[in-house]
Amino acid sequence: MPVDPSLVGREFPAPAPLTVTPERVRAFAAAVGHPDGAVPPTFPIVLAFDAMQAFLDAERIDLHRIVHGEQRFAYVRPLELGDELTATLTVTGLRQIGGADIIATASELTDVTGAVVCTGKATLVHSAGAGGAA
């Protein structure tokens, strides 16, 4: 089933803020082998993923039908331990190629002062039917 075209422009906040704790950073860094003590640059995906999951849940899209097509992050400042971040995902575009929906999204991560810390752009490839991936 194709994704509803009226989605473009809609916003989906992550359900809860994320605190950048030493434990979370250590676990993430260990999983990707990043040097100790640093916040890996891809760490914001943890919160961006929560916002994406909120979008998928709202639209009843199965995660296993999604393949990540593109991800770009621009950092206004480095993430710091103790940051409490919130994220909102906006659907910015939608097109169909070979039976797949190509969903373009933008996400914004802000700190408790409301300042933007990081922005993300992602493309999600949704294969609609069984075995339908292009």
Partner 1 sequence: MNAGDVLGPLTFTVTRADLVAYADASGDHNPIHQDEEVARSVGLPGVIAHGMYTLALVGRAVAEWTDGAEVVDLGAKFTSPVVVPAEGGAEVVVAGTVKSVADGLATLALEVTCGGQKVLGMPKAVVRTGARA
Between 63 and 81, CB nearer to partner 1: 63
Q: How far is CA 5 from the centre of its chain?
A: 20
Segment contacting partner 1 by CB under 8 A, of 4-12, 87-95, 105-113, 119-127:
119-127
Considering only 4, 5, 30, 81, the residue that binds partner 1 (CB under 8 A) is 30
- Applying CB under 8 A, does 81 fall inside the site for partner 1? no
Between 74 and 115, CB nearer to partner 1: 74
Spatial separation of the C-alpha atoms in residues 59 and 67, rounded to whole Å: 16
- The backbone region for 100, taken as left when phi is positive above 0, alpha when psi lies in -120 to 50, beta otherwise, is beta
For residues 109 and 116, the answer to whether their CB atoms sit within 8 Å is yes
DSSP 63: G
88 Cβ contact partners less than 8 Å away, ≥ 6 residues apart: 11, 12, 13, 14, 51, 107, 108
If binding means CB under 8 A, how many residues of this protein chain bind partner 1? 40
Considering only 2, 5, 22, 41, the residue that binds partner 1 (CB under 8 A) is 41
Spatial separation of the C-alpha atoms in residues 104 and 87, rounded to whole Å: 16
Both tokens assigned to 47: 């919160």
Between 8 and 133, CB nearer to partner 1: 133
- Applying CB under 8 A, does 59 fall inside the site for partner 1? no
Give residues in contact with partner 1 (CB under 8 A). Answer: 24, 27-28, 30-35, 38, 40-42, 45-46, 49-50, 53, 63-75, 78, 121, 123, 127, 130-134
